[in-house]
Amino acid sequence: MIELTGVSKQYFGQNRVLEQVHLSLNKGDFLYVVGGSGAGKSSLLRLLATEETPTHGAIKLFGYDLQKSSARQLRSIRQVIGYIPQSIQLIGDLTVIDNLELSFKLGGSKITGTQSRARMGELMDRLGLTSKRDTLVNQLSGGEAQRVAVARALVRNPEMIVADEPTGAQDLEYTWAMMDLFVKANLGGTTLVIATHDREIVKRVRKRTAVLKQGKLIVE
Amino acid sequence: MFLIKLGMRPWMKSTFSQMLTGIGLAALVSIMGVIWQLDRKLGPVVRKLNREQTVTVFLKPIDHAKVEANNEKSFEIVDQIRAEIGAKNLDVKFTSTADFLAETKTAYPDLYQELDAGGAEVQALLPEFVTVSGEIRPEQIEKLKTFEFTESIDSSRQKFLHAAGAFQALRWIGRFFLVGLLLTLASGILHLSRILGYFHVESTRVIKQWGGGFWQLRAPALISGLSLGAFSSLITLAIWVGLGQKMVILLQGLSPFLKDIEVPQSSLTVVMAAASLFVGLVSGWLSSQFALSDNLRRN
Ligand SMILES: Nc1ncnc2c1ncn2[C@@H]1O[C@H](COP(=O)(O)OP(=O)(O)O)[C@@H](O)[C@H]1O
Ligand SMILES: [Mg+2]
């Protein structure tokens, strides 16, 4: 379902961040991407989330070759991805609930309004956001905003969740609440790719792990 | 819903500059409309002043001796002028001493009384003349000079030439301003679009990442532009409804030649308001492109 072949990434005027990366994931897979700071985790996840394009190599998502896909195909790929970027990327001038609704509506989901409201309510409850429902995202703390980003990815029931250090700004309670939600989504068939440097979660929720080192991806 | 919220964001974030921009656009569009109308209305006036003239052919006083033949003679002269200068569209009119006196009586009663008191002696000094009015070519004027009954010739064109020139100058000054204002408007639209575009860069990026379609990507910026255009078009409407009549009265006062200029019809007011709305729409579209182009650079 997800196929990276010989993928390299080089930012302008720099050494290669990713070097000949090969990766293959099936529907329902769960993969951790670990590696030190600056190892290229975010670069890899940005490629998976279609936020950036590779310098070399091919990426296939849900049967579409990214380089060859039309704007329409690219759009339908993005509609089934739940992306939690390291830099959050919420719309600051919208409320928490509006940001969640955006994800839901743009996803072209077939779920009814009532179901989606129930789902949003549940997610906000689990992530401690219920009291912030109508707060502008600009006025949230970093940790709260990160939880909104997680809820935004989960609310559309995506085919794949690409999470870039989603627990980075969380205390233990929310870290495990998040992991619980991720595992549940995974059991429902969602593919998960989580970049993290938190050894604790990798140890406690044991899944396939890939290590990024000097641009190479080694899947254990 | 969130698209509308995003679109209306500039109004929330910078209410004052939005309103000022809307008013400024309305003023700009309205002034351009006034100049455009001025040009349109002055055109025919200038053309008329340039082409149409009334040539007065003063007749030699010989005819006064034979008063009884006067009436006949007048027809003869008129016919001769008609025939020889090819005056198809020209209005040729004979004014005898008696006609002249009659006209004086109504127009200048005081002068008439003097002339009347002076009797036949004074009246004999009054000129008789033929007026030829319409679009007269220079060679036709030359021909008029050659008739044996012609004493002298006076052309109204010489009289109104300065007026025609002044109006024509006014038109060109107007056009010059119009070009300047057009450039101002264009640069205004461009800057406005950039600023509105920056307003939407972040949210456009998010909408794109989350799978927004063509219109979803452009809706916020379009709504921003259109709402500004709608506001500005209301102001334009107010300007034209409120000041249109005043402007026309001022214009009419400029010269008696302009007294026929009409008050702008409601259709023109609607056109001006629509122009303001259109400016908003263009800004909206451009700003959506700006908002997108920052993203497109990435992929
Ligand atoms: N947009 C960018 N432009 C240039 N260099 C970048 C950019 N993003 C990341 N890099 C560089 O690529 C390397 C890997 O970054 P990143 O993928 O963020 O690593 P990680 O997420 O593992 O910390 C870093 O050295 C960083 O400086
Ligand atoms: Mg990173």
- The best mutation among A34, A43, A87 to test binding of ligand 1, ranked by most ligand atoms within 8 Å of the C-beta, falls on A43
The ipTM estimated for the assembled molecules is 0.94
Domain final position from B88, B120, B148: B148
B188, two tokens: 């205004």
Please list, in sequence order, all residues whose beta carbon lies within 8 angstroms of the beta carbon of residue B129, skipping any fewer than 6 positions away.
B56, B57, B58, B59, B94, B95
Q: Considering the domain boundaries, does residue B125 fall inside one?
A: yes
Structural domain harbouring B170: 2-48+162-298
Q: How far apart are CA B216 and CA B38, in angstroms?
A: 43
Query: Which is it for the CA torsion B248, B32, B8, B3, positive or negative?
Result: positive
Claim to verify: residue B178 and residue B291 sit in the same structural domain:
yes
A175-179: Cβ within 8 A, 24+ apart: A175/A201, A177/A126, A177/A127, A177/A128, A178/A127, A178/A147, A178/A150, A179/A204, A179/A205
Q: How far apart are CA A159 and CA A79, in angstroms?
A: 9
Chain B residues with CB-CB distance to A49 below 8 A: 209
A41, two tokens: 């985790």
Proportion of chain B above pLDDT 90, given as a percent:
42
Please list, in sequence order, all residues whose beta carbon lies within 8 angstroms of the beta carbon of residue B23, skipping any fewer than 6 positions away.
B232, B235
Could you give the count of Cα atoms lying within 13 Å of B101 in the half-sphere of its Cβ? 16
Chain B residues with CB-CB distance to A70 below 8 A: none
B130, two tokens: 């033929």
Contact B156, B53 (CB under 8 A): yes
The per-residue pLDDT for range B237-246, each reduced to its tens digit, is 999 988 888 8
**Strand A64-65 and strand A81-84: pairing?**
unpaired
Claim to verify: residue B36 and residue B95 sit in the same structural domain:
no
Tell me: pLDDT of A171 over 80. Answer: yes
pLDDT of residue A147: 97
Claim to verify: residue B180 and residue B266 sit in the same structural domain:
yes
3-class DSSP state for residue B87? coil
DSSP conformation letters of chain A: -EEEEEEEEE-TTS-EEEEEEEEEE-TT-EEEEE--TTSSHHHHHHHHTTSS--SEEEEEETTEEGGG--HHHHHHHHHTEEEE-TT----TTSBHHHHHHHHHHHTT----HHHHHHHHHHHHHHTT-GGGTTSBGGGS-HHHHHHHHHHHHHHT--SEEEEESTTTT--HHHHHHHHHHHHHHHHTT-EEEEE---HHHHHHS--EEEEEETTEEEE-
Buried b (16+ CB within 10 A) or exposed e, A73-103: bbbebbbbbbbbbbebbbbbbbbbbbbbbbb
Tell me: pLDDT of A93 over 90. Answer: yes
pLDDT of residue A31: 96
The radius of gyration of chain A from alpha carbons, rounded to an integer in Å, stands at 17
Q: Considering the domain boundaries, does residue B15 fall inside one?
A: yes
pLDDT of residue B135: 77
Q: Considering the domain boundaries, does residue B156 fall inside one?
A: no
Q: Considering the domain boundaries, does residue B39 fall inside one?
A: yes
**Testing the interface with B: which of A69, A102, A134 to mutate, by most B Cβ within 10 A?**
A102
The 10 Å Cβ neighbour count of residue B101 is 15
Domain final position from B148, B181, B216: B148
Q: Which ligand is nearest to the CA of A87?
A: 2
The answer, as to whether pTM is greater than 0.90, is no
Q: pLDDT (tens digit, 0 to 9) for every residue of chain B, 299 residues total? A: 889 999 999 999 999 999 999 999 999 999 999 899 889 888 888 887 777 778 888 887 755 555 455 667 777 888 888 887 776 778 888 887 778 888 888 888 888 888 888 777 777 777 788 888 887 877 888 888 888 888 888 877 666 778 888 889 999 999 999 999 999 999 999 999 999 999 999 999 999 999 999 999 999 999 999 999 999 999 999 999 888 888 888 878 877 777 777 777 788 889 999 999 999 999 999 999 999 986 544 44
Q: Is B9 exposed, middle or buried (0-12, 13-18, 19+ CB in 10 A)?
A: buried
Question: What pairs with residue A8 in β-bridges?
Answer: A56
Cα A12 to averaged position of ligand 1 atoms, centre (Å):
11
Domains in chain B: how many in total?
2
The per-residue pLDDT for range A155-170, each reduced to its tens digit, is 999 999 999 999 988 8
Beta carbons of B208 and A92 less than 8 Å apart: no
Tell me: pLDDT of A110 over 70. Answer: no
- The best mutation among A10, A42, A48 to test binding of ligand 1, ranked by most ligand atoms within 8 Å of the C-beta, falls on A42
Q: How far apart are CA A169 and CA A182, in angstroms?
A: 17
3-class DSSP state for residue B256? helix
Q: How far apart are the first and last CA of chain B?
A: 27
Q: Considering the domain boundaries, does residue B154 fall inside one?
A: no
Domain final position from B124, B148, B172: B148
Q: Considering the domain boundaries, does residue B182 fall inside one?
A: yes
Q: Considering the domain boundaries, does residue B190 fall inside one?
A: yes
Q: How far apart are CA B150 and CA B140, in angstroms?
A: 14
Cα A38 to averaged position of ligand 2 atoms, centre (Å):
7
Claim to verify: residue B70 and residue B128 sit in the same structural domain:
yes
Q: Considering the domain boundaries, does residue B153 fall inside one?
A: no
Question: What pairs with residue A2 in β-bridges?
Answer: A25, A61
Claim to verify: residue B90 and residue B185 sit in the same structural domain:
no
Proportion of chain A above pLDDT 90, given as a percent:
76
Could you give the count of Cα atoms lying within 13 Å of A145 in the half-sphere of its Cβ? 17
Between B294 and A54, name the one with better pLDDT: A54
What chain A residue is nearest to B13 in terms of C-alpha separation? A93
3-class DSSP state for residue B240? helix
pLDDT of residue B250: 82
Tell me: pLDDT of A57 over 80. Answer: yes
Q: How far apart are CA A107 and CA B207, in angstroms?
A: 10
Q: How far apart are CA B160 and CA A139, in angstroms?
A: 73
User: Closest ligand 1 atom to the C-alpha of A36?
Assistant: 22
The candidate with the shortest Cα–Cα distance to B276, out of B227, B249, B236, is B236
Claim to verify: residue B106 and residue B20 sit in the same structural domain:
no
Claim to verify: residue B28 and residue B176 sit in the same structural domain:
yes
The DSSP 8-state label assigned to residue B261 in this structure reads P
Claim to verify: residue B90 and residue B35 sit in the same structural domain:
no
Claim to verify: residue B68 and residue B177 sit in the same structural domain:
no
Q: How far apart are CA A205 and CA A201, in angstroms?
A: 6
Chain A residues with CB-CB distance to B202 below 8 A: 89, 91-92
Claim to verify: residue B77 and residue B29 sit in the same structural domain:
no
Claim to verify: residue B44 and residue B173 sit in the same structural domain:
yes
pLDDT of residue B287: 96
Claim to verify: residue B193 and residue B78 sit in the same structural domain:
no
